[in-house]
Amino acid sequence: MSQTTSPEAEARPTKAAPPPGADSARTRTIGRIKRTLTPYGFLSPTGVLLIILMVTPIIMVVSYSLLDRVITNKNPAFVGFENYVEVLTDPVFFTAVRNTLVFTISSVVVHFVIGLAFALLLNSPLLGNRSKAFFRVLYILPWLFTVAIVAVLWRLLLSPNGVINYLLGASGITDGNTEWLANPSTALAAVTFINIWSGYPFFMISLLAGLQGIPRDLYEAAKVDGAGALAQFRNVTLPQLKPIIISMALLDFIWTTQQFALIWMTTGGGPINSTEVLSTFTYKLAFTEYEFSVASASAVLVLLMSMVLAFFYVRHQKARD
Amino acid sequence: MTTLATPALTAERPALRTPPKHTGKKVAIIVALVVGACFSALPVLWMLSSSFKSNPEIFEFPPRLITPGFSFDAYTTILTDPTKLRFFFNSYVIALAVTALSLIVAVHAAYAFSRYEFWGKKTINVVVVSVQAVPPITLLIPYFGLVVALKLYNTYQGLILTYMVFTLPYAIIMMTGYFNTLPKELDEAVKVDGAGPLTALWRILMPISVPGLVSVGVYTFMICWNEFLFALTLTRTEDMRTVPIGIQLLMGQHSYEWNEMMAMSILGCIPVLLLFLFFQRYFIGGMTAGAVKI
Amino acid sequence: MSKGAHVGRFIALTGVTALALTACSGGGGSSSDGDGDSGGDVTLEFSQWWEPELPDGAFRELMDKFEAENPGITVDLLSGPYASTKEQVVAGAAAGTMSDVVGLDGAWVSDFADQGAITDLSAVMSEAGYDESQLASQVQVDGKTYMIPVVNFVYPMFTNDDLLGQAGVTAPPTNRTEFADAAAKVTSGDAHGWVLPLSLEAPNGIQNDVMSWVWESGGSMLKDGQPALTDNEAVTSATDYIQGLWDAGVIAPGSFTMKEQDKVEEFSNGRVGMMIDSLAHVNLIRESNPDLNFSISAIPAEDGYTGERGIPYASWGIGIAENSEHKAEAFKLVEFLMSEETNSELSSIANAFPGNTTSVPDFVEEDELFGTAFEIYQSGFPANEFTGLPVAEQLMRDFGEEFQKALDGQQSMQDALAAAQTKWEEEF
């Protein structure tokens, strides 16, 4: 591993503390160098970890994507962008992109809406601290389970003979025979719903925190200007929460596009292609078709798309500083 | 005060007695909260109920919440199996270690991002955010090879370092945001006294950052506690495996131990729940600053 | 105190921590690596998913027996969840850390052999002078054996006798017309005639519940080792038949995401009249629902078919890692598992049929149901054409997707077969 070009590596020489300076000019120079190198020193443990354990495997994945039949072939040949062409000409890839977008965007939007609604309710001054704590615990529950069990639980709940159908049927809302996960027209919605259930608490908690951090005098000022409740919400609450909403939405977007186990364990990407997303598409390429090169190409494409997002994210961050 | 129509708009302390005219509103809020709680908690209630059922009762139709076969057998089976208890132990060790180490490493990186301008800052930032974006499943093979080469296969260290890498980006982002909300004058004051940046960080910033640390810590803990794929791949023997693997071991080739799976995840969530209860005051306070100004 | 010194100290501290971590791990790693070094003792790693499937401690007992018979060899059992076994073997083979002996499913063999993960057992067997005639079957790729089926789980038809009886069906159906008729009679309210798991996550329903109809009537989905889904009377009639059942509404809801584990729960709960299922489930069904009255019979064949019937099966197979340094010892373990006595014992505890031709599991004599199943097994031939095919699981999934489309009415069954044929040809 020769990642010598990284700034972290350059920073390492600071380990040897320089001898006490002889003249003031030299001391100042040393001081400036130290000042320049200090942040790299702070970043070095992170850098070392991320470079060895994250960037290296990513580079390996990128190199796989340029080779032919890596893993299964002992001496893979360099094939340039052939694997990318294969991915990009596969119609299922675009189905997967579309489903991923539908799944991710609706998850993020609803995470936000539900998260905000719950946060607003939990922030109500009309509630005592005890009841707040009680509901907070109830609302956090979906976050506490490993994805395998979330999948199994919802398969049970949504099965044609499951509780949900029973309740819907008994109350006369539906005929109680809906095959939520097994019907191509409802499967994606059902999977998205499960993901919404399991993911909103994180949003809720952050927004709740954000609400509590809004200075009260802003509301007082708005009231003096005669703003009603809705106007206050639009002019004070939302703008104040905007930074959280944007960062959470971006992070949630990246995380949701990675969601694999939940979809795989509930529908396996089916019925037909209706819940095929980029992660299940890539998984199948790698582990059932043994096309690790093509799977790597698909992963690199996902990485590139996310890097664009990350770029905007960092720019957004900078804009606020 | 009385014009506050939506609950959103208040940061009012509960010290005030609710005036009578708020009663209607209060009822509305409680009704809404209960409806919301149905959405979030009923599935979990069903999990709890299933953990007390026998396997066929889980599938009976029409479903019942409490069945004649009600028993604690699933819990007894898990709690008397030393292998499974070991899974719990491993999960604790790993999650706690990662939480502590990840926070320490992230705090320093966040300090650099928050307090210094340096060459490559933006690039490093993009890298930190986007390394999260590679589907873990495609990283599996190269990552596994790397772990074997580093002799970390089937060790706590291997898993700990792996989860640190997974949780660091988020921890750094959140802690950077948190430090950004703290005035620079705080650490400058210490530096005037001749102390270095480390002193400023540890003596001044860390103590007032406890809420931020707690919120990031709880998140980190959750990620480690629930991760499956790498936990399985990077360990080999039963004495190194974690709770999510224990749950999946109950999903057999031909049949599942439904009730034991449910019981095991209920048992698994209790410590996390306690942790949340204990820390929730900090947790909720801490998210604020971190997220508001990243 | 300069800033540099602070940062320097911090880096030093981190360095020490990192070193400590690596040192500890080095220690941990070497303890597991250094197995073969001391005094000729060998530790065999055996990774499989069987141990958790069997009664507690039963498999370990067998291993203890092996260790007692072979001083100097110890067996380290590594168990993982079945659903993830494949990824683990692929990753292990890529990193050179695969266990010496591995449990295999027939559907994976061709891929692992291609990857160079598992070794050519033909060579190992001839070196050990092993008598292959006692093996019921071997799974070969390009004429070389890579997997030996240790025990086989056959898939006969299970019938819920009470449901059938109430519907006026007195005997389990023996041909397709009778089956369709019985299924239609049973279907009413919550009860359905048949249950068909077609999940794409674990697509083995295609093998066990769909293709079984082809094999049962002596048909084949291949021709000279190549896919032959089109212009194939046996395949067409079987798929059309299933489409007919589907359209008649006699199949339990939820098929498209149903897995084998769900199927058996539907049956245990008395909601389906008939299912094609692994014998491994007999005890589970009895435990789940002691009152359920069910019996086992051969899968109905085409009307008027009198030839030998193919019976679908799945195996717990065994293979040896190419990177194993102890192939000879590993084969001793294989030999042990395939020996008449051990094989009978393992079959008994797993409720499976033995991979050794001379073994007879206890339950065949003790249990009427298994006795019947054994008769069915012996009167037909084990059929599973997916075993040993390249990317077998993907083939099932390709077929499954097209099949689902056809059942869903998005294309005709003929188009589905043609589309699956095209996909299969690409994979071969």
Predicted confidence band of residue C367 (pLDDT cuts 50, 70, 90): confident
In C, which residues are within 8 Å of B237 by CB distance? 32, 76, 78
pLDDT in tens, B4-35: 344 444 444 444 454 556 788 888 899 999 99
Residue B48, pLDDT score: 94
> What is the average pLDDT value for chain C, to the nearest integer?
87
Judged by CB atoms closer than 8 Å, whether chains meet at C261 and B141 is answered as no
Predicted confidence band of residue A304 (pLDDT cuts 50, 70, 90): confident
Give the contacts of B287 (CB within 8 A, at least 6 positions apart). A205, A206, A208, A209, A210, B215
* More confidently predicted of C408 and A312: C408
The nearest alpha carbon in chain A to C200 belongs to: A268
Predicted confidence band of residue A154 (pLDDT cuts 50, 70, 90): very high
In A, which residues are within 8 Å of B13 by CB distance? 125
In A, which residues are within 8 Å of C420 by CB distance? none
> C223: which strand partners?
C226
Shortest Cα distance from C122 to chain B (angstroms)?
A: 28
> What is the average pLDDT value for chain A, to the nearest integer?
84
Shortest Cα distance from A185 to chain C (angstroms)?
A: 11
Judged by CB atoms closer than 8 Å, whether chains meet at A71 and C94 is answered as yes
Residue C406, pLDDT score: 94
Give the ipTM: 0.82
d(CA C103, CA C350): 14
Give the mean pLDDT of C386-406.
92
| B106 close contact with A: CB closer than 8 A | yes
Give the mean pLDDT of C392-406.
93
Give the mean pLDDT of A211-230.
83
Most confident of A137-141, A157-161, C273-277: C273-277
At residue C166, does pLDDT exceed 90?
Answer: yes
Residue B21, pLDDT score: 60
Report CA-CA distances (Å) from A246 to A136, A249, A252, A253, B217. 23, 5, 10, 10, 22
The nearest alpha carbon in chain C to A185 belongs to: C408
Predicted confidence band of residue A277 (pLDDT cuts 50, 70, 90): very high
In C, which residues are within 8 Å of B235 by CB distance? none
Residue C37, pLDDT score: 42
Q: Do residues A149 and B262 lie in contact, with contact meaning Cβ atoms separated by under 8 Å?
A: yes
Judged by CB atoms closer than 8 Å, whether chains meet at B155 and C25 is answered as yes
Predicted confidence band of residue C19 (pLDDT cuts 50, 70, 90): very low
At residue A2, does pLDDT exceed 70?
Answer: no
* More confidently predicted of C38 and B229: B229
At residue C25, does pLDDT exceed 70?
Answer: no
| C260 close contact with A: CB closer than 8 A | no
Which candidate from B54, B155, B232 shows the least CB-CB separation from C28? B155
CB atoms within 10 A of CB A226: 8
Q: Select from B50, B255, B260 the residue whose CB has the most chain C CBs within 10 Å, as the one to mutate to test that interface.
A: B255
Q: Do residues C125 and C145 lie in contact, with contact meaning Cβ atoms separated by under 8 Å?
A: yes
Give the contacts of C367 (CB within 8 A, at least 6 positions apart). none
d(CA A142, CA A138): 8
- Using DSSP, state whether C373 is helix, strand or coil: helix
Residue A151, pLDDT score: 92
Predicted confidence band of residue A312 (pLDDT cuts 50, 70, 90): confident
Which candidate from B56, B155, B238 shows the least CB-CB separation from C288? B56
DSSP notation for B50-85: HHTS-HHHHT-SS--SS-TT--SHHHHHHHT-HHHH
Of all residues in chain C, the percent with pLDDT exceeding 70 is 91
Shortest Cα distance from A183 to chain B (angstroms)?
A: 20
Residues of chain B under the 50 pLDDT cut: 1-16, 18, 286-294
Q: Select from B144, B245, B253 the residue whose CB has the most chain C CBs within 10 Å, as the one to mutate to test that interface.
A: B253
Shortest Cα distance from B139 to chain A (angstroms)?
A: 6
d(CA B86, CA A130): 35
Residue C43 φ/ψ, nearest 5 degrees: -110, 120
| A282 close contact with C: CB closer than 8 A | no
Predicted confidence band of residue C82 (pLDDT cuts 50, 70, 90): confident
d(CA B125, CA B222): 24
In C, which residues are within 8 Å of B158 by CB distance? 25
Q: Do residues C125 and C148 lie in contact, with contact meaning Cβ atoms separated by under 8 Å?
A: no
pLDDT in tens, B216-265: 887 888 889 888 889 988 998 888 999 999 888 888 887 888 899 999 99
Report CA-CA distances (Å) from C285 to B22, B157, B255, C81, C307. 58, 43, 10, 22, 31
Predicted confidence band of residue C114 (pLDDT cuts 50, 70, 90): confident
Q: Do residues A164 and B47 lie in contact, with contact meaning Cβ atoms separated by under 8 Å?
A: no
In B, which residues are within 8 Å of C94 by CB distance? 141, 144-145
> C317: which strand partners?
C104, C149
Judged by CB atoms closer than 8 Å, whether chains meet at A14 and C4 is answered as yes
In A, which residues are within 8 Å of C262 by CB distance? 155, 159
pLDDT in tens, C271-315: 999 999 998 888 888 888 888 999 999 999 999 998 888 888 889
Judged by CB atoms closer than 8 Å, whether chains meet at A146 and B215 is answered as no
The nearest alpha carbon in chain A to C111 belongs to: A290
Give the contacts of B47 (CB within 8 A, at least 6 positions apart). A145, A149, A153, B262, B265, B266
DSSP notation for A133-151: HHHHHHHHGGGGS-HHHHH
Residue A68 φ/ψ, nearest 5 degrees: -100, 125
> C383: which strand partners?
C312
Judged by CB atoms closer than 8 Å, whether chains meet at C4 and A266 is answered as no
Q: Select from C200, C251, C267, C395 the residue whose CB has the most chain A CBs within 10 Å, as the one to mutate to test that interface.
A: C200
Predicted confidence band of residue A195 (pLDDT cuts 50, 70, 90): very high
Structure tokens given for C301: 């064949």
In B, which residues are within 8 Å of C87 by CB distance? 140, 233
pLDDT in tens, A23-32: 677 777 887 8
Q: Select from B254, B257, B258 the residue whose CB has the most chain C CBs within 10 Å, as the one to mutate to test that interface.
A: B254
- Using DSSP, state whether C192 is helix, strand or coil: strand
In A, which residues are within 8 Å of B242 by CB distance? none
Of all residues in chain A, the percent with pLDDT exceeding 90 is 35
Give the mean pLDDT of A146-154.
91
Amino acid symbol at A22? A
d(CA B133, CA B75): 38
Q: Do residues C145 and C120 lie in contact, with contact meaning Cβ atoms separated by under 8 Å?
A: yes
In B, which residues are within 8 Å of C96 by CB distance? 148
Judged by CB atoms closer than 8 Å, whether chains meet at C21 and B161 is answered as yes
d(CA B110, CA B107): 5
Q: Which of A179-205 are b and which e, b meaning 16 or more Cβ less than 10 Å from the residue's Cβ? A: bbbbbbebbbbbbbbbbbbbbbbbbbb
Which candidate from A14, A270, A273 shows the least CB-CB separation from C8? A14
Which candidate from B10, B120, B283 shows the least CB-CB separation from A7? B120
Predicted confidence band of residue C35 (pLDDT cuts 50, 70, 90): very low
At residue A148, does pLDDT exceed 60?
Answer: yes
Judged by CB atoms closer than 8 Å, whether chains meet at C7 and A181 is answered as no
Predicted confidence band of residue A4 (pLDDT cuts 50, 70, 90): very low
Chains that touch A (3 or more CB pairs under 8 A): B, C
At residue C379, does pLDDT exceed 80?
Answer: yes
Q: Select from C1, C7, C9, C187 the residue whose CB has the most chain A CBs within 10 Å, as the one to mutate to test that interface.
A: C7
Judged by CB atoms closer than 8 Å, whether chains meet at C2 and A34 is answered as yes
Residue A3, pLDDT score: 36
Residue A76, pLDDT score: 82
Shortest Cα distance from B294 to chain A (angstroms)?
A: 6
**Alpha helices of A172-291 — where are they, by DSSP H?**
187-212, 216-224, 229-232, 238-257, 261-266, 278-287
Shortest Cα distance from B249 to chain A (angstroms)?
A: 11
| C266 close contact with A: CB closer than 8 A | yes
| B276 close contact with A: CB closer than 8 A | yes
Of all residues in chain C, the percent with pLDDT exceeding 90 is 55
| B15 close contact with A: CB closer than 8 A | no
Prediction pTM value: 0.85
pLDDT in tens, A87-132: 999 999 999 999 999 999 999 999 999 999 998 898 887 888 788 8
CB atoms within 10 A of CB C341: 12
Q: Which of B25-44 are b and which e, b meaning 16 or more Cβ less than 10 Å from the residue's Cβ? A: beeebbebbeebbebbbbbb
Of all residues in chain B, the percent with pLDDT exceeding 90 is 31
Shortest Cα distance from C314 to chain B (angstroms)?
A: 11
Site of tokens 């040949």: A77
